[in-house]
Chains A and B, each alone.
Chain A
Amino acid sequence: MDVDLGDLVDLEQQFYDIGYKEGVNHGREHGLIEGRMLGKEKGFEIWEELGFYLGFAAVWLQILRSQSDSESRSVGHISHLLELIRAFPMHNPSKDHELNDFDIIGSLNRIRGRYKAVCASLGVKPRLISSNLQSKAADNEAPSLPDISQEDQESTNKPRVWSFMEAAKKAGTDGLSF
């Protein structure tokens, strides 16, 4: 039997291609799983914080109104805070054309600043803002109105869209990489 060397090279290529195709399918499954784990954590972290402000502000708005104090500075701050949070997306805006220009970090900073302003105008100590602390504390002890407020330092040069790579760096590889 004649075996053409070219056929053999072709054979190699064919099996490489078959392997590649199967590998892509398998890798895709792992990417989805790992991405979901990280996205879940990031979404939880961000919205737990925003939800807290939302609930906090909603109660205080009612308290102030019930004291017919609806002209106060606090009410203005609270209304603005609620507005900002309601405009904040519940999904990653990377693929959303309407929200493509949404400035996540800027918005988050404005919300935090407004929340602190609300607290100051009410004479209340703000909840500690620390994303690391929050995600770690979720299991044992969540932060509940601690004493010191803290500036979030890391927020200046982050990308505007939540990227997987960024979350992965924070979370570590989690033992799931190949």
Chain B
Amino acid sequence: MPPLNIQSYILKPFKAGYREGITFGKESALQEGFDTGFAQTGAPIGRQLGVLRGLVAALKVATQKSIMFQGSDEVSVSVEDLQQRLNRLGLKDLAPRDMQAEAHAREHRDIEAEGTDDALASAFMSLDTKESLDGKEELLAVEREVHQLLDKLGLQVSWPL
């Protein structure tokens, strides 16, 4: 009778199964995650920022071409300021933190601390966890100012677009 070897009858098959399972599980969930991120975060945030950039860009061209608001330096200055502030904002400033990803990264870090080899922990630690509150507040502030400017110029852009 061969000695019952834990290594070959338990750990090895367990690890082999785990590896196969992880690959399958990951691949089968990628598209679902993609669709979620697209619809819940990327598209609405991109749209909000893009609309404001478009509104401001149109105002800028209109002032430059002197089609409207002739001689109004005040308008040009606010348009310039708003455009620069919008250009400083990006997805990273506006997207909410992915709490599930961060929690999972912490789990990996804890496992790693116990000596399990896992390169994922460090990859997850590099996830962007920048506090996004400032960016969102700035976007809302710009949005208010853009609306005020449109009102002032008598442009009744129906909102929301």
A residues lining the B interface (CB < 8 Å): 1-3, 8, 11-13, 15-60, 62-63, 66-67, 90-92, 94-95, 122-124, 127, 138-139, 141-142, 144-145, 162-165, 167-168, 174-176, 178
Leading 5 A-B pairs by shortest Cβ distance: A51-B50, A35-B33, A23-B21, A43-B42, A55-B54
The 0/1 profile, CB within 8 Å of A marked 1, for residues 1-20 of chain B is: 11010001111111111111
Contact of A164 among B1, B17, B30, B83 (CB under 8 A): B30
CB of B74 within 8 A of chain A?
no
B residues 102-151 touching A (CB-CB < 8 Å) = 104, 120, 123-124, 126, 150
How far is it, in angstroms, between the C-alpha of A30 and the C-alpha of B127 when the chains are bound? 13
- Measured CB to CB, the closest approach of chain A to B11, in angstroms, equals 8
Contact of A34 among B1, B33, B50 (CB under 8 A): B33
CB of B57 within 8 A of chain A?
yes
Which B residues are CB-close (under 8 A) to A55? 50-58, 161
20 contacts between A and B (CB under 8 A): A11-B9, A13-B13, A15-B9, A21-B21, A23-B25, A24-B24, A27-B24, A35-B36, A35-B37, A47-B47, A48-B46, A59-B59, A63-B67, A63-B68, A91-B43, A139-B90, A142-B90, A144-B87, A162-B38, A163-B34
CB of B73 within 8 A of chain A?
no
Which B residues are CB-close (under 8 A) to A95? 35
CB of B81 within 8 A of chain A?
no
A56 touches B57 (CB 8 A): yes
B19 touches A50 (CB 8 A): no
Interface residues on B, range: 35 or more
Which B residues are CB-close (under 8 A) to A24? 21-22, 24-25
**A-B CB contacts (within 8 Å), total count:** 310
Provided the pairs A17-B17, A91-B39, A142-B86 are in contact, do residues A27 and B155 lie with their beta carbons within 8 angstroms? no
A63 touches B26 (CB 8 A): no
A60 touches B58 (CB 8 A): yes
Residue of A nearest to B122 (CB): A175
B residues 49-105 touching A (CB-CB < 8 Å) = 49-62, 65, 67-68, 83, 86-87, 90-92, 95, 98, 100-101, 104
B residues lining the A interface (CB < 8 Å): 1-2, 4, 8-39, 41-62, 65, 67-68, 83, 86-87, 90-92, 95, 98, 100-101, 104, 120, 123-124, 126, 150, 154-158, 161
A39 touches B54 (CB 8 A): no
How far is it, in angstroms, between the C-alpha of A144 and the C-alpha of B64 when the chains are bound? 14
A33 touches B4 (CB 8 A): no
How far is it, in angstroms, between the C-alpha of A3 and the C-alpha of B2 when the chains are bound? 9
Which A residues are CB-close (under 8 A) to B92? 138-139
Which A residues are CB-close (under 8 A) to B86? 142
B124 touches A176 (CB 8 A): yes
How far is it, in angstroms, between the C-alpha of A13 and the C-alpha of B98 when the chains are bound? 37
